[in-house]
Structures are given as C-alpha cells and as structure tokens.
Amino acid sequence: MNTGLKTIDNLILSFGVRTEEGADKSQSLTTFCGGDFRVNTVKMPFCIMQKILQTPQEKQLRLLQWFLPHKQARLASFLIDESGSVIEQVYFQRDAKHVEACRRIQKMVTRTYRQIAATPSVLAA
C-alpha cells in the first residue's frame, strides 16, 4: 500500500486492515446493530452516530477507526454496512497529504470488506 505517508504505510504493513472486533495501536473495530445505544459509550463523530441510530435493528454496521499513534490523534473513521460499502466517513486530518492517504485507505477498506461480504459464510453451509 502506498498512501504517500511512510508512517501510515508502515502501520498498514504491520497491522493490515482490522476485520475482527478489537483494537490495536493503529485501528479499532466495533460492530453495532442498527439503533444500538452503545454509540453513547464510544467516541465517534456525530454523523456516524446518527447513521447507526437511524439504521434498522436487523442490520449490522462496523465502525473502523484509524489512529496516528505517533501524533496521538485520530486519522479517519469509516462506517461499513453489511455489503462492505463505506456508508459514512470522517477524515480528521485536514492537510492535503493526510486527506489523500485517507482516500487510499478508504479504497483499501472497501475492497477488504466487500471481499468479506462476498465470501460465503462457513456457518451458512
């Protein structure tokens, strides 16, 4: 992956894209059901909180948050639906290099989660 920023590229090389719920120093992934009131316990942008609360209860959404550990700052948040599409995103860093890096990360996240959504579930067999 070449985002244009070595620190972000190194984090992606080390950790990849998180697909299991949990956290490491560069990412956290939390799964929510539509209307889940746990949104009040997780620090997230208001627009993402609204999307989760407005989603029907039978749908699941994933919140993937990226961090810049060297700056102790958030980089981006992505809300991903069941089909693997990013339905809401927020980029926290405003300079052009970071925004371009976030766009490239978003493409990588979408590609990863669409592959997961397209893979038949072992439980369904």
What is the secondary structure of 67-114 as a DSSP string? EETTTTEEEEEEEE-TTS-EEEEEE---SHHHHHHHHHHHHHHHHHHH
d(CA 97, CA 81): 27
pLDDT in tens, 1-51: 688 899 999 999 999 999 999 999 999 999 999 999 889 888 899 999 999
d(CA 117, CA 112): 9
pLDDT in tens, 62-115: 999 999 999 999 999 999 999 999 999 999 999 999 999 999 999 999 999 999
d(CA 1, CA 110): 14
